[in-house]
Amino acid sequence: MSDFSNKWIINEYRKLRQAVVSGDRVLVLKTVRQLLESGVDPLRVVNQGLVSGMDAVGNMFRDNEMFMPDVLMSARAMNEGINLVRRIRRTPARRPLGKIVIGTVSGDIHDIGKNVVKIMLENGGFLVYDQGVNVEPRQFADAVKKHKAQILALSAQLTTAMLNMKTTIAAVEAAGMKDKVKVIIGGSATFQDFADEIGAHGYAPDASAAVHRCRELLESNSCGRQRGPNLKIVK
């Protein structure tokens, strides 16, 4: 490949990343199409353009430079780009980083914080199974088993509900899932010392931290997968 081509491709990757950051779906689709038509490896289009752009979005959100609706627009643009790659190159869907069961524990009906974390986890590449609010320990344990989740994410806003996180961890252990799932907790009632006290593997004070912590947990987990889109090209 000539220097000119290299420079052009690098420039197009940059453009694609920026289009994802801006949530510009039209520019994302146009750039993806141009790159594929030029014979660029679809995996690179996804990794170096689309996913890399979404990583930048994640960092900007963490640093309070972007709002949630901006993140959602970016995620939508990225997903449309990935879908276009799949359609044109007949590639399978992006494999998730890992599976997470999420919910608000029994005795608490607060929803939105948990929903925001769910959105951020999904945009961070995880497959998330939302159990809703006021979820009984047994339901969490069953969901972890059913979905073969590697992470269980528990939320509580009420001081009168937070102890149900401990009960939930006990239920998961009783179901024989102790070594198979990592538990992360969050919500305004919770804190790191409490997470340590009840035997959770992690605590996240906000949605961005939750994504980061879940990635760390997966990397520390023998059954976790490596980070990355793992897009397999069908020849």
Partner 1 sequence: MDYKPVKTFNELAVKSLDDFIYGIAPYPVTAKNGMVIGGGAVYPEINMTLPPITVDESTMPEVRKQYAEMIEGILKRAKALHAPGIIVELELLPPTTIEPKWGIEINKILREKMYEYEEKYGLKSLLRCTPNDTREIMRPPLMRRGDLLESIFTTFEKCAEDGADILSIETTGGKEVHDEALVTCDIRKAIFALGVLGVRDMRFIWSKIVEIAEQTGSIAGGDTACGFANTALALAEQSMIPRVFAAVDRVATVPRTLAGFEVGAVGPDKDCGYEGPYMKAIAGVPISMEGKTAACAHLSSIGNVAACVCDMWSNESVQNIKLLSAPAPVVYTEQLIYDCRLMNEAAAEGRSYALKLRDWLADSDSRLDPQAYVLRPDIVLEISKELVKEKDAFIATKKAAALAVDVLKRGMAAGEVQVLPKEKKWLDIISSQIETIPDDWQEFWHEMQKELDLSKWRPEEYDLEVTAAKTASAG
Looking at beta carbons only, is 43 or 116 nearer to partner 1? 116
Beta strands 99-104 and 182-186, pairing class = unpaired
CB of 135 to partner 1, least distance (A): 11
> Which lies closer to partner 1 via its Cβ, residue 80 or residue 111?
111
Q: How far is the CB of 19 from partner 1 (least distance, A)?
A: 18
What is the enclosing helix (H) or strand (E) of 128?
strand 127-130
Which backbone phi and psi does 176 adopt, to 5 degrees?
A: 80, 20
Q: How far is the CB of 148 from partner 1 (least distance, A)?
A: 25
Shortest CB 71 distance to partner 1, Å = 9
Residue 62's nearest CA partner among 177, 206, 227, 201 is 206
User: Which C-beta is closer to partner 1: that of 41 or that of 206?
Assistant: 206
| Residues within the interface to partner 1 (CB under 8 A) | 64-69, 72, 107-109, 111-112, 115-116, 119, 132-134, 158-164, 167, 188-189, 194, 206-207
Nearer to partner 1 (CB atom), residue 36 or residue 72: 72
Query: Can you spell out the DSSP letters for 166-213?
Result: HHHHHHHHHTT-TTT-EEEEESTT--HHHHHHHT-SEE-SSHHHHHHH
